[in-house]
Chain A
């Protein structure tokens, strides 16, 4: 049973470009979460999605960030017009449903130059 997959693992963008991060949940999991980890800090919640629905985006910055989880295909976290402060590790997690445990992917390390 494959785990949570994220790609790319590393992404370098210049200031002002767009970053697209992809996440495929574990098989049978219909809940997806995105977290961000800045250097020397813990993970911070960004957004919680189910198929075709955003359930909770209370941790998402109001501008430039968006997320989707379409009926078919991976979940996408999109960052428009990236700035240096967006440089971080972005982790996706999934869960099957009612269970509280979330299972994490390997992360995407975004570097903005």
Chain B
């Protein structure tokens, strides 16, 4: 039972344009969401997070939007750069002592020069 889903395995975007990566979740108890970027043969790198009490969080070129009623979040990267090419994972966590991250299966972003 996949509680966090990334339905697009891959996405290609032209350099300078906006990249939009999507993520859906089924567990309404999740209250904190994170995005990680991963290059081959490296560990995931934390990008940005959002609490369920917010609907938007911005950090430089990265913005995460949360739609709780739709159980959907998205990561916007503007402008996209070739160095952004990587696998992006959405993750979610519960409040309280259960600290484990539940990950989606990832989306491979390719930014074309």
Q: What residues of chain A have their CB less than 8 Å away from a CB belonging to chain B? A: 4, 6, 31, 33, 35, 40-45, 48, 55-56, 58-59, 91, 93, 95, 100-107, 109
Contact = CB atoms under 8 A, between A and B. Distances in A.
A107 B99 CA distance: 20
A106 B40 CA distance: 10
B98 interface: yes
A65 to B, nearest CB: 16
Interface of B: 4, 6, 32, 34, 36, 41-46, 49, 89, 93, 97-106
A59 B103 CA distance: 13
A91 B103 contact: no
A45 B102 CA distance: 7
Contacts of A103: 46
A45 to B, nearest CB: 4
Contacts of A58: 100
A43 B44 contact: yes
Contact of A101 (B42, B49, B102, B106): B49
Nearest to B99: A48
Contact of A44 (B93, B97, B103, B106): B103
A2 B33 CA distance: 25
Nearest to B102: A45
A112 to B, nearest CB: 19
Nearest to B89: A42
Nearest to B90: A42
A42 B43 contact: no
A95 B34 contact: no
Contact of B43 (A40, A41, A44, A107): A107
Contacts of A31: 99
